[in-house]
Amino acid sequence: MQVRDLTPAEWPWSLLLDADPCRELIDAYLHQSTVMGLMEGDAAIAPEGRSLTIAVIVLLQRDQQVVEVMNIAVAPVHQGKKLGKLLLAAAIERSRQQGTKRMIVGTGNSGIAQLAFYQKMGFRLEAIDRGYFVRTYPEPIFENGIWCRDGQRLAQRAIASCSPKICSGDLHETGAGSPS
């Protein structure tokens, strides 16, 4: 497995829409962002010479010191294998190498697994935007039986470095599902 930047022609819309159900909102930030994919397979033997994107992360540089995770998703068949953790760790390391001092991410109040995921990755709750999803999305969003109304912003103030194995961009099959 390998992490690499994706071109607009390679953007995995089905994954992007898994994380954010509104294409118009994704379009508003995607073209100004860095889109990184976790690739499975060998481009030399994959159909049409392409490997398969099994996870995606979208990073938007807010200023010289702050980058925001706008979207992160793992294909349903690959969830539970720590691939989101590997991809976010690679994005953190890249941002750290580029001099970013702070990474932020927003998620909904109903995203219980997402809130746990980000906190396990070193993010801390920073702010609540009451009514964000009600104001922003045309249709109500329900997750885990909970109405997603409020936005939760989390931040990692001093971006820590991650394991060279994770951050090298060369993620081997054996390491992808192993605990960290």
For residue 169, pLDDT beyond 70: no
For residue 176, pLDDT beyond 50: no
**Of the given ranges (1-5, 69-73, 141-145, 167-171), which has the lowest mean pLDDT?**
167-171
The span from the CA of 82 to the CA of 26, in Å, is 24
Largest CA distance in the chain: 49
Q: All domains of the chain, ordered by start, with CATH?
A: 2-176 (3.40.630.30)
- 124 by DSSP, 3-state: which? strand
Average pLDDT over residues 76-93: 96
pLDDT confidence bin for 44, thresholds 50/70/90? very low
> What pLDDT is stored for residue 157 in this prediction?
81
> What pLDDT is stored for residue 51 in this prediction?
78
Q: What are phi and psi of 159, to 5 degrees?
A: -65, 120
Look up residue 55 and give its two tokens.
Answer: 């996870």
26 and 18 Cβ atoms separated by less than 8 Å: no
> What pLDDT is stored for residue 137 in this prediction?
95
For residue 165, pLDDT beyond 90: no
Beta strand 141-143 with 102-108 is: unpaired
Q: What are phi and psi of 43, to 5 degrees?
A: -60, -25
Share of the chain above pLDDT 90, in %: 79
Burial letters 56-88, b for 16+ CB under 10 A, else e: bbbbbeeeeeebbbbbbbbbeebeeebbbbbbb
Closest CA to 58 of 81, 79, 38: 38
The reported pTM is 0.83
Average pLDDT over residues 64-78: 96
